[in-house]
Structure 1
Amino acid sequence: MTPKPSTGRKDIADADVEAVTAQLGRTPRAVREVAYRCPCGLPAVVKTSPRLEDGTPFPTLYYLTCSRLNSRIGGLEASGRMREMTERLAEDPELAAAYRRAHESYLAERDAIEPLGTDVSAGGMPGRVKCLHVCVAHALAAGPGVNPFGDEALAEIGEWWQAGPCVHP
């Protein structure tokens, strides 16, 4: 028996769905609410349901939507930052513990909506850094001090919103 999906769209205005659609170039899936709003006023991170509308598990709780921020994060990924960050996990027990806490926080938040019965969170947590987009989305949604690699990437990127909105829906 396929588990029933979460109710999906929970608390997001039509204008925000339009903005996210413009940012992604497609209609967002399983979106529940805006988890972080860019200083320009548009959504930058949405919180998604743990399952898509058809019941398929979708473990990515926080999804980065800002196209400009996505591009900047892609540049960090292309420069090899994820490999460097993963190497530091093996060398720094305090950093590894902080990243494990980020993973546990992520799972707890997702499971509070709907448990998926898995210890897999997203982005490679807690053993490696596989996707900086997930780390940054988590850091923005949860606030500073929760996801150390998300915080680090945001500090490196700087004020991505200075040029104004990434889209004009």
Structure 2
Amino acid sequence: MDTTVTDRDLEVLAEQLGRVPRGVVAVAARCVCGRPTVVRTAPRLDDGTPFPTTYYLTSPGAVKAASTLEAEGAMVGMNEALAQDADLRAAYLAAHEDYLARRSELGDVPEIAGVSAGGMPTRVKCLHALLGHTLAVGPGVNPMGDRTLELLSGVWSPDRCTC
């Protein structure tokens, strides 16, 4: 996939976000129609602000679907599963470490050292961040991002345009 950010991508992102996008270094995932779904962001914004969310979900359809899951309390069951399953906890810790390693490729920001996104590695907090990670790096890396994508089946899919 071409991760290059074009002027058109920045226009689409401004439309999707309702504001000027900040810190975008790549398009990490695209809709089947070519529009950005997830962007990769710098760990420090141009104004100096630390920004831990490396994979930022931008697709309105995906954002809405993840918001609906959150409103329905999907995180409760995910957190219960984490508490009960040592293998899942280990896989989620590995996802956290993957996230940190990929962010470190973009620079070192001491203020957010050890902080990834979505509640990793100990809880499930933000499905948007976890889904963004899965969509950016593919299945099998973030078990809770994978689970979020599975829960969205029939509502939203990266294989179907909802732009």
Indicate the RMSD between aligned Cα atoms, in angstroms.
1.6
Give 1:115 deviation, angstroms: 1.5
Counterpart check, 1:119 vs 2:114: yes
Matches for 1:71-86 after TM superposition, within 5 Å? 71-86=64-79
Matches for 1:1-169 after TM superposition, within 5 Å? 11-117=4-110, 118-158=113-153, 160=156, 164-166=161-163
Q: Deviations over 1:42-65 (max 9, x none)?
A: 110000000011111001000000
SS for the counterpart of 1:36 is strand
Aligned residue pair count: 157
Give 1:165 deviation, angstroms: 4.3
Give yes or no for contact 1:42–1:165 (8 Å, CA) kept in 2.
Answer: no
Give yes or no for contact 1:40–1:165 (8 Å, CA) kept in 2.
Answer: no
Q: Deviations over 1:82-122 (max 9, x none)?
A: 12111211100010001000000000010121122310111
Cα distance change on mapping 1:113 and 1:79 into 2, 3 Å: same
TM-score w.r.t. the length of structure 2 is 0.91
Q: Which amino acid aligns with 2:116?
A: S
Give yes or no for contact 2:75–2:125 (8 Å, CA) kept in 1.
Answer: yes
After the TM superposition, which of the residue ranges 112-121 and 56-65 deviates more from structure 2? 112-121
Q: Which amino acid aligns with 2:70?
A: E
Distance 2:10 2:27 in 1: 9
Cα distance change on mapping 1:42 and 1:97 into 2, 3 Å: same
Where in structure 2 are there 5+ consecutive unaligned residues? none
Give 1:66 deviation, angstroms: 0.1
Q: Deviations over 1:114-166 (max 9, x none)?
A: 12231011111000011000000000001010111111111121262677442
Cα distance change on mapping 1:111 and 1:11 into 2, 3 Å: same
TM-score w.r.t. the length of structure 1 is 0.88
Give yes or no for contact 2:43–2:51 (8 Å, CA) kept in 1.
Answer: yes
